[in-house]
Amino acid sequence: MIDIYAKEFVAIIKHLEGQGYKPYRGYFVVEKPVLQELLNHNKYEMPDSKLKTWKALNWIDTDKDRLTKRVANKAVIKLDIRVFEELKKQLKM
């Protein structure tokens, strides 16, 4: 199952890069509704469940007891670029 999470994590960041997102201080910073919409494409699990797993694996940076991080009064999710690079290398994507 972890390979499915990893492939989706890498695919989403690649998609975000294609949409013009750039890393900032080691993270891709994405508003939660945008990321939830992307996570909803593969319906093997609900988006919040996927985010909880990513959080447990330290693939995203969030506030304590939340799935988001408050940045400039916005609820965002910070996807770790180092995790992305390592997973991409391991998956040969």
17-70 per-position pLDDT tens digit: 999 999 999 999 999 999 999 999 988 899 999 999 999 999 999 888 877 777
Asked whether the beta carbons of 77 and 69 are under 8 A apart, the reply is yes
Asked whether the beta carbons of 79 and 31 are under 8 A apart, the reply is no
**So where are the chain's domains?**
2-91
Tell me if the domain spanning 2-91 has CATH number 1.10.10: yes
Beta strands per DSSP E along 1-93 = 27-31, 60-61, 69-71, 74-80
Please give the average per-residue pLDDT across 69-82, as a whole number. Answer: 85
